Amino acid sequence: MSVVNSIIHTSPLQANEGIGFTPVFLSISFQGSTAQSAQSNFGTIPLQVTILWPREFGGQAVPVIRHISWTELVSNFESQSVPQLMIPFLPLPPSFNPLSEASWSVLARQVETWLVDTIRDVRAPEWAWGCDTFWMAFIAANPDFPRGPWPNWNPKISLEGKFIESWTADNLTIPADSPLSQDILDEIRTSIWDDFQLIFTVPPFL
């Protein structure tokens, strides 16, 4: 039996009767393959998922595991029984690296295309959520913004929203020739990644 361990994090979330915790969506993919002749030896393959929950929260808040297979998910999409889940850039691919400019650049382009070509209506709740998502990805890819060089984006996406307005206000006073060290770039991207996980965990329009 092969055992793979990974540590993931959740964050406190204000609830009606105290502090809750942000849900975590977990995606499991598989690398490699077995010989085709071995397929006849398998039916469904059991996977054991164990959550180690901090002792101090025991009896107060407990994790609940739910799952849906890829086959079921695809079937639901095709039947349009859950059309609200059709966000083409989620879940993020396993190759996504929150410290990589390239990963964030690809994501920003995907979100921009989804907003402009699919959502279109700037009054839709998906538009506001998508704009915040776009700006997080755009800034993570271009931390010098609004200083220095940065790529053009579709002008339909305005500089509005809590994240981008706060970012521009905080960075307009920094001299344009101030270099950003790799440590600072990593710190910026890590901070944006933390915020990004909160915004895409449960989109408000779902």
- pLDDT tens series, the chain, 206 aa: 777 777 777 777 655 556 666 666 666 766 666 666 555 566 677 888 888 878 777 667 777 777 766 566 555 544 444 344 468 888 888 889 999 999 999 999 999 999 999 988 888 888 988 999 999 999 999 998 888 788 999 999 999 888 999 898 876 555 556 677 888 888 999 999 988 887 765 455 55
Cα–Cα distance for residue pair 20/13, rounded to 1 Å: 5
Give the up-direction half-sphere exposure of residue 86: CA atoms within 13 A in the CB hemisphere: 15
Report yes or no: 53 and 24 within 8 Å, Cβ to Cβ. Answer: no
Q: What is the pTM of this model?
A: 0.58
